[in-house]
Amino acid sequence: MAIGMYVVPDWGFLKSKITSYSADCEVPVVNGRCPKYLFANTPVTYKVSTSDQSVIYWVNGFPPSRLANCAVASRTSWKCEYPDKSATMGFQDGTFFSYSDGNESDFVKDHDAKQYPLSRLEYLRACNKTLTGTNRCSSSPRRNY
**pLDDT tens string 19-73:** 999 888 887 778 878 877 777 888 999 999 999 999 999 998 899 999 989 999 9
Tell me the CB-side half-sphere exposure of residue 70, using CA atoms within 13 A: 24
- According to the model, what pLDDT value does residue 44 have? 92
Average pLDDT, the chain: 77
Whether 19 maps to a domain, the answer reads yes
Q: What is d(CA 122, CA 59) in angstroms, rounded to the nearest whole number?
A: 19
Whether 139 maps to a domain, the answer reads no
Q: From residue 75, how far is each of 13, 31, 81, 126 by CA, in Å?
A: 8, 27, 17, 25
Whether 145 maps to a domain, the answer reads no
Whether 141 maps to a domain, the answer reads no
The terminus-to-terminus CA distance of the chain in angstroms comes to 43
Whether 3 maps to a domain, the answer reads no
Number of separate domains in the chain: 1
Q: What is d(CA 81, CA 88) in angstroms, rounded to the nearest whole number?
A: 4
Domain region containing 27: 11-126
For residues 120 and 63, the model is more confident at 63
pTM for the whole structure: 0.74
Whether 5 maps to a domain, the answer reads no
Whether 140 maps to a domain, the answer reads no
